[in-house]
Chain A
């Protein structure tokens, strides 16, 4: 396996892009752009689009940061650049 700095950085950027895609989808996507369409469905008594804008996206954000932290730590170990 390629353990160079460049390969590590490429892996980091891929991970960031994946996390950002989810980040964008729940907030700007479900919370804003598709909110009207989603409002025809409901979750726990909330219209779904409204729920994403005022509840759901925040829950996803919290999960995203921890998942990112975990995956980054794994990457650091895999490429042997983790802190001593």
Chain B
């Protein structure tokens, strides 16, 4: 069977499965639309949270970025898993005891103010919309390759499918669908990794294979990779820091606290049956996430080595990288390159006119390259394609390649749907129903939610055509926004019972504001191309202590905490009954009486 037919078949079967489950568990009332009836067991909830969490950024984009960033890519791995420790300890159990549906509801009640709830809606929208832009970028890559169309067409098709998918079912449908999606995406990620690890190191476990020896030599795989990339003028793979140690530290912190502040992930913990289950749900979620995350660095390193090997025959043979015959001829390039050239995400430009592909770091050209008459690196590979192209590069069977396409789509769709749900509930429930139109009917509320979803997809799709960064980079910005605004407000709401509404609101606005300012200065106002205003700050990128915009969320969070503390000291104290409520939230007993899913 041809690869194209096989891909349609596998993607079709998995979609039929998700839609079948969604129909079977079709949501009825509004409360079921947002949170599944409260009775999802921790292991299944953990799996669904895993699918919800692992988006196009984790599945499609992350390993490609790590392949490029080497050791520095570890910030994604530590950041996006370490946040779960914070979530499990600092937020999940208390939010469950509090017993609300959504983040803005928690903020509105804890800070006894509808204005605070409005500010929370704003923070939530900023983070979620940015997140969806990243998803659209990833969906675009997957669809363009899968249908053999340009990247922009891929984004448009993705917008349509995500919309239909998200509007179709609510959280209940999604919880069980997401369990199925988790299974598809984890198989799709690990199977090719096992094949490739086997081929390169003889060890079927990628986590061990990455530390193993390169087949047929007594050199370690990482040692071999270090040597190849350094010979070609790239920085050493295993020690290459992301900009600076400080930047890497702040970036990791930003992703960690962003994880614990993301509305669609937090919403999950309202659906577990008890406080005890909230604690273990976060643990199970991390187990399922870690299966992918510990495989990702192996995928990254092996994909990088395979990419070099596929255009330069001396990588595997150990011969002279700069010998003329080592670079493969463009006319004899492998099929996977031809397929990706169609999408416009992989490009070849014959700079020295010899008809061969030279791929190296021309900004630090090695002496051998200059001597051999290389005139610049001739291959540009979009980092977001690495995971999807990886099984093709490694010449794995067609069914594996098809499975990876299905996994990438599962990852992107499940997260986009979860985020759209968070957005639709924030707008229809927290904004319209609770503040502007208290007597709105349930039917109108659902309709408002769907309109909000449609608008979000269009905005995100439009911005996804010219994304501010690679998929995982854009998602990192979304985490920064959540880190700087939502996380501190939630944490202070639980751990500082004297925190008042003035402090919380000022903190959220200051944290979100300064983070947006820094990000927009680099990436454009609302990520619109050509509107960046770095000139105002001396024109130098990363002007604050050399910290890149994607990492700024941690600084924003510090500002948030600081401003909130100062403002709360000079404004009226938090009312007595709220302080009692916070004390009550801190102990698990009585959680069943405040089960959020029945309080509606």
A-side interface residues toward B, CB under 8 Å? 5, 8-9, 12, 16, 19-20, 23, 27-28, 31-33, 35-36, 39, 43-47, 49-51, 53-55, 57-59, 61-62, 64-66, 68-69, 72-73, 76, 81-84
Contact = CB atoms under 8 A, between A and B. Distances in A.
Nearest to A55: B294
Contacts, number: 141
B85 A45 contact: no
30 contacts: A8-B587, A16-B89, A19-B89, A27-B252, A28-B253, A32-B248, A32-B252, A33-B245, A33-B249, A35-B71, A39-B239, A45-B213, A46-B211, A50-B222, A54-B74, A57-B78, A57-B81, A57-B82, A58-B81, A58-B294, A61-B85, A65-B84, A65-B88, A66-B280, A69-B280, A76-B587, A82-B588, A83-B275, A83-B589, A84-B592
A55 to B, nearest CB: 6
Given A69-B280, A82-B589, 15 more contacts: A9-B586, A19-B85, A27-B78, A31-B74, A33-B249, A35-B71, A57-B78, A58-B81, A58-B294, A62-B283, A65-B279, A66-B280, A68-B89, A68-B279, A81-B587
Nearest to A72: B279
A74 B14 CA distance: 43
Contacts of A19: 85, 89
Interface string B279-314: 110110011001001100100000000000000000
Contacts of A44: 208, 211
A54 B242 CA distance: 14
Contact of B290 (A33, A62, A73, A84): A62
A78 to B, nearest CB: 12
Interface in B70-119: 71, 73-75, 77-78, 81-82, 84-86, 88-90, 93
A58 B587 contact: no
Interface in B565-591: 583, 586-591
Contact of A61 (B84, B276, B588, B589): B84
A64 B87 CA distance: 12
Contacts of B253: 28
A33 B252 CA distance: 12
Contacts of A47: 222, 238-239
A81 B93 CA distance: 13
A70 B587 CA distance: 16
A15 B591 CA distance: 21
Interface of B: 66, 71, 73-75, 77-78, 81-82, 84-86, 88-90, 93, 207-208, 210-213, 220-222, 238-239, 245, 248-249, 252-253, 274-276, 279-280, 282-283, 286-287, 290, 293-294, 297, 583, 586-592
B210 A46 contact: yes
A12 B585 CA distance: 13
A12 B85 contact: no
A10 B238 CA distance: 42
A19 B85 CA distance: 9
Please list the 9 inter-chain residue pairs (A to B) with the smallest Cβ-Cβ separation, ordered nearest first.
A53-B74, A45-B211, A65-B283, A54-B297, A44-B211, A69-B279, A81-B587, A46-B211, A27-B78
Interface centre among A8, A9, A54 (most CB of B within 10 A): A54
B285 to A, nearest CB: 9
B213 A69 contact: no
Given A8-B587, A12-B586, A27-B252, A65 B78 contact: no
Contacts of A27: 78, 82, 252
A45 B301 CA distance: 14
A43 B222 CA distance: 12
A50 B239 contact: yes
Contacts of B589: 76, 81-84
Contact of A43 (B82, B89, B211, B275): B211
Contact of B274 (A20, A59, A83): A83
B440 to A, nearest CB: 35
A5 B239 contact: no
B587 to A, nearest CB: 4
Nearest to B589: A81
Contacts of B222: 45-47, 50
Contacts of B207: 55
B286 A65 contact: yes
Contacts of B248: 32
Contacts of A36: 239
Nearest to A15: B89
Nearest to B300: A54
Nearest to A6: B583
B81 A83 contact: no
A32 B249 contact: yes
B78 A76 contact: no
A45 B220 contact: yes
Given A69-B279, A76-B588, A53 B71 contact: yes
Contacts of B238: 39, 47, 50
Contacts of A55: 207, 210, 294, 297
Contacts of B77: 53-54, 57-58
B71 A61 contact: no
Interface centre among B78, B245, B253 (most CB of A within 10 A): B78
B400 to A, nearest CB: 24
A49 B239 CA distance: 9
A49 to B, nearest CB: 8
B249 A28 contact: yes
B89 A73 contact: no
A57 B293 CA distance: 11
B49 to A, nearest CB: 13
Given A50-B238, A51-B211, A69-B283, A61 B586 contact: no
Contacts of B294: 55, 58-59
Contact of B276 (A9, A35, A59, A73): A73
Contacts of A46: 210-211, 222
A54 B280 contact: no
A45 B205 CA distance: 14
A72 B93 CA distance: 10
Contacts of B221: 45
A45 B588 contact: no
Contacts of B86: 23
